[in-house]
Amino acid sequence: SQELEQSPQSLIVQEGKNLTINCTSSKTLYGLYWYKQKYGEGLIFLMMLQKGGEEKSHEKITAKLDEKKQQSSLHITASQPSHAGIYLCGARRNAGNMLTFGGGTRLMVKP
Amino acid sequence: GAVVSQHPSWVICKSGTSVKIECRSLDFQATTMFWYRQFPKQSLMLMATSNEGSKATYEQGVEKDKFLINHASLTLSTLTVTSAHPEDSSFYICSASGGSGNEKLFFGSGTQLSVL
- A85 in contact with B at a CB cutoff of 8 Å? no
Question: DSSP states of A16-53 as a string?
Answer: T--EEEEEEESS--SEEEEEEE-TTS-EEEEEEE-STT
Q: Over 80: is that where the pLDDT of B98 sits?
A: no
Nearest of B99, B104, B100, B96 to residue B77 by alpha carbon: B96
Residues of B in contact with A38 (CB under 8 A): none
Q: B-chain residues within 8 Å CB-CB of A90?
A: 105
Phi-psi region of A64 (alpha: psi -120 to 50; beta: other; left: phi over 0): beta
Range in A16-20, A89-93, B2-6 with the lowest mean pLDDT? B2-6
What is the average per-residue pLDDT within B34-43?
87
Q: How large a percentage of chain A has pLDDT more than 70?
A: 95
Average the pLDDT over B33-51 and give the result.
88
Q: Which of B91, B106, B108 sits opposite A40 (nearest CB)?
A: B91
- CB-based contacts of B63: which residues, under 8 Å, 6+ apart? none
Give, in order, the Cα–Cα distances in Å from B42 to each of A107, B36, B39.
14, 12, 5
| Distance separating alpha carbons of residues B61 and A74, to the nearest angstrom | 32
Which residues of B fall within a CB distance of 8 Å from A106? 41
Task: Name residue A36's amino acid.
Answer: K
- What's chain A's average pLDDT? 90
Check whether B56 has a pLDDT greater than 70. yes
Q: Which of A31, A97, A101 sits opposite B44 (nearest CB)?
A: A101
Q: Which residues contact A45 (CB under 8 A, 6 or more apart)?
A: A33, A35, B104, B105, B106, B107
Whether B43 sits inside 8 A of A88 (CB atoms) is yes
d(CA A9, CA B100): 36
Residues of B in contact with A98 (CB under 8 A): 34, 46, 49
Using pLDDT thresholds of 50, 70 and 90, give the confidence band for residue A97. Answer: low
Query: What is the structure's pLDDT at B82?
Result: 96
Residue A2 is predicted with a pLDDT of: 53
d(CA A55, CA A72): 9
Q: Which residues fall within 8 angstroms of residue A108, CB to CB, at 6 or more apart?
A: A10, A11, A12, A13, A84
**pLDDT greater than 60 at residue B37:** yes
Whether residue B113 is predicted with pLDDT greater than 80 in this model: the reply is yes
Identify the pLDDT of residue A107.
95
Q: B93, A42: Cβ pair inside 8 Å?
A: yes
Q: Which long-range contacts (CB under 8 A, 24 or more apart) does B82-89 make?
A: B82/B18, B83/B16, B83/B17, B83/B18, B84/B13, B84/B15, B84/B16, B84/B17, B84/B18, B84/B19, B84/B113, B84/B115, B85/B15, B85/B16, B85/B115, B86/B15, B86/B115, B86/B116, B87/B115, B88/B113, B88/B115, B89/B113, B89/B114, B89/B115
pLDDT in tens, B6-36: 999 999 999 999 999 999 998 888 888 899 9
